[in-house]
Amino acid sequence: MPAADPPRRATDVAAAVADGRTSARAEVDAALARADALQATTNAFTDLLGERARAAADALDARLAAGEAAPPLAGVPIAVKANLAVAGVRTSAGAAILRDYVPPETATVVARLEAAGAIPIAMANLDAFGMGSSSEASVHGPVRNPVDPARVAGGSSGGSAAAVAGGAVPLAVGTDTGGSVRQPAAFTGVLGVKPTYGTLSRSGVIAYASSLDQVGLLAHDANDLAVALDAMVGRDPRDATSLDVPAVFARDLRTSPAADAGAGDAPLAGLRVGRVVETFGEGNAAEVEAATAATLARLEVLGAEVRDVAVPAAPAALAAYYLIASAEASSNLARYDGTIAGVRVGEDGDGQVAVTTASRGAGFGREVRRRILMGTFALSAGHVDAWYARALQVRRKVSDDLTAAFGHVDLLATPTAPGVAYPLGARVDDPLAMYLGDADTVLANLAGLGAISVPADVPGGALPVGLQLLAPPLGDGRLLQVAAALQRA
Q: Which residue number, 174 or 257, has a Cβ lying nearer to ligand GLN?
A: 174
Nearest distance in Å: CB 399, ligand GLN: 18
User: Is 325 or 485 the residue whose CB approaches ligand GLN more closely?
Assistant: 325
Nearest approach, Cβ of 216 to ligand GLN (angstroms)? 9
Do residues 225 and 480 make contact, with C-beta atoms less than 8 angstroms apart? yes
Shortest Å, Cβ 367 to ligand GLN: 8
Smaller CB distance to ligand GLN: residue 32 or 153?
A: 153
The residue number with the shortest CB distance to ligand GLN is 180
Residues across the chain: 489
Integer angstrom CA distances of residue 327 from 336, 378, 421: 16, 6, 28
Among 23, 135, 138, 156, which one carries the catalytic annotation? 156
Helices then strands (H, E): number in the chain?
Answer: 16, 13
The reply to whether 210 belongs to the active site is: no
Helix axes 10-18, 222-232, angle to 10 degrees: 70
Catalytic, 330? Answer no
* 423-458: b (≥16 Cβ within 10 Å) or e: ebeebbeebeebbbbbbbbbbbbbbbbbbbbbbbbb
Contact of 430 with 294, CB cutoff 8 Å:
no
The residue from 92, 135, 138, 180 that is catalytic is: 180
81 is catalytic: yes
Min separation Cβ 213 and ligand GLN, Å: 7
Give the residue ranges of DSSP H helices in 79-197.
108-115, 158-165, 182-188
Torsion-angle region of residue 200: left (phi > 0), alpha (psi -120 to 50) or beta?
Answer: beta
Give 128 or 222: the residue with its C-beta nearer to ligand GLN.
Answer: 128
- Distance CA(364)–CA(336), nearest Å, equals 9
Least Å distance between CB 347 and ligand GLN? 34
Residue 143's CB is within 10 A of a number of other CB atoms, namely 35
Question: Collapsing DSSP states into helix, strand and coil, what is residue 439?
Answer: coil
Beta-sheet strand order (sheet of 451-455)? 45-48, 119-124, 77-81, 171-176, 214-219, 191-194, 451-455, 466-470, 411-415, 272-276, 305-309
Q: Which is nearer to ligand GLN, 145 or 356 (CB)?
A: 145
Rounded (10°) CA dihedral 84, 88, 90, 92: 40
74 Cβ contact list (under 8 Å, min separation 6): 13, 14, 17, 18, 24, 60, 64, 117
User: Helix, strand or coil for residue 206?
Assistant: coil
Rounded least distance, CB 133 to ligand GLN, Å: 4
Residues that bind ligand GLN (CB under 6 A): 130-133, 156, 175-180, 208, 325, 438
Residue type at 67 in one-letter notation: G
Q: How far apart are CA 8 and CA 425, in angstroms?
A: 30
Residue 444 CB, nearest distance to ligand GLN (Å)? 10
Of the candidates 221, 51, 34, which has an alpha carbon nearest to the alpha carbon of residue 146? 34
Q: How far is the CB of 445 from ligand GLN (least distance, A)?
A: 7
Q: How many CA atoms lie within 13 A of 309 on its CB side?
A: 26
In 3D space, the residue among 31, 21, 43 whose CA is nearest the CA of residue 79 turns out to be 31
One of 81, 133, 330, 397 is an active-site residue; which one? 81
**Closer to ligand GLN at the Cβ: 43 or 183?**
183
Minimum distance of ligand GLN from residue 288's CB (angstroms) = 17
C-beta closer to ligand GLN: residue 325 or 398: 325
Closest CA to 486 of 190, 196, 217: 190
Q: Are 231 and 219 in contact (CB under 8 A)?
A: no
- In Å, what is the CA distance from 449 to each residue of 26, 194, 478? 39, 8, 13
The residues carrying an active-site annotation are: 81, 156, 180
